[in-house]
Amino acid sequence: MQETQTLLQLLGIAGAVLFYGRFYIQWIVSEIQGRSVVPTAFWYMSGVGSVTLLLYGVFYLNSPVGALSHCFNSVIYARNLVHIWRERGVLTPARSRLFHGAIALLVAVGIVLVVYTWLREYRITQQAEPSQQARVWGWIAIGVVGQGLFALRFLIQWIATELRRKSVVPVVFWYISFVAAILLMSSHLQRHEWLYAIGICATLLVYLRNIYLIHRKTPSVVSD
């Protein structure tokens, strides 16, 4: 049992390094090019990091917000990769069907895990005092709002990408990211979910730096 917990901890740390570290890779590339740009590695790190943090949130933390945060976003990351691969001419119809099928299966499994985590949290809080229940679900609600904004930023990015048939990141993405990060970080801090909270906190400076680069150089953000 202890070995399993240790393995889950290591999995969570690895996922956090990938998922939150992606923005530092993006920052470094942006500084080198002197403009806000999203490299392809960002989307690979997003996908792998998100899956590992989903498992960590479900099986180690029992975090309703953490599980929800990493359930559906793989679709956005996958679609960006599809457009990048298509643009590079390496996406065959067979590969496209296989990849989309794998993502659909991943999301289906993720939904099951999210439902399981939320039901378990409900059973646990049912044993607490009403005031404690209100506090727990109040902070979960704040986290859900933050995650809703996080999802909205990628929905906007996805729509912009689908319209242009090219992976692009609009300016509003970074503003929404900053506000959502504050809300989500607050929720995780209240539940002592330190890995999530520290990881999100580490991205705040990156969001602000991208906003600065955008207004200094260009009106939009593109993927490289």
The two three-digit tokens of residue 204, written as one number? 């705040």
| Among 146, 73, 182, 212, residue whose Cα is nearest residue 221 | 212
Query: What was the pLDDT predicted at 219?
Result: 47
pLDDT digits 0-9 by tens, 98-118? 999 999 999 999 999 999 999
Domain assignments of the chain as residue spans, ordered by start: 2-223
Q: In whole angstroms, what is the distance from residue 40 CA to residue 88 CA?
A: 12
The C-alpha atoms of residue 52 and residue 18 are separated, in whole angstroms, by 9
The mean pLDDT of the chain is 90
User: Which pLDDT belongs to residue 102?
Assistant: 95
Q: According to the model, what pLDDT value does residue 220 have?
A: 47
Give the pLDDT band of residue 157 (cuts 50, 70, 90).
confident
pLDDT, tens only, 68-82: 999 888 888 998 899
DSSP character at residue 72: S
Q: Specify whether the CB–CB gap between 175 and 211 falls below 8 A.
A: yes
Residues in the chain: 224
SS3 39: coil
Band of residue 14 on the pLDDT scale cut at 50, 70, 90: very high
What pLDDT sits at residue 222? 52
Per-residue model confidence as pLDDT tens digits over 168-213: 888 899 999 999 999 999 999 999 999 999 999 999 998 998 888 8
Residue 75 or residue 1, greater confidence: 75
128/175 Cα distance (integer angstroms): 37
**DSSP structural state of residue 38:** E
- Mapping DSSP to helix (H, G, I), strand (E, B) and coil, where does residue 218 land? coil
Q: What is the three-class DSSP state of 35?
A: coil
**Residue 1 pLDDT class (50, 70, 90 cuts):** confident
3-state secondary structure of 224: coil
Model pLDDT, residue 45 = 96
As a whole-number percent, the residues of the chain with pLDDT over 70 amount to 96
Report which DSSP code applies to 37. E
Helix, strand, coil percent content, the chain, rounded in steps of 5: 80, 5, 15
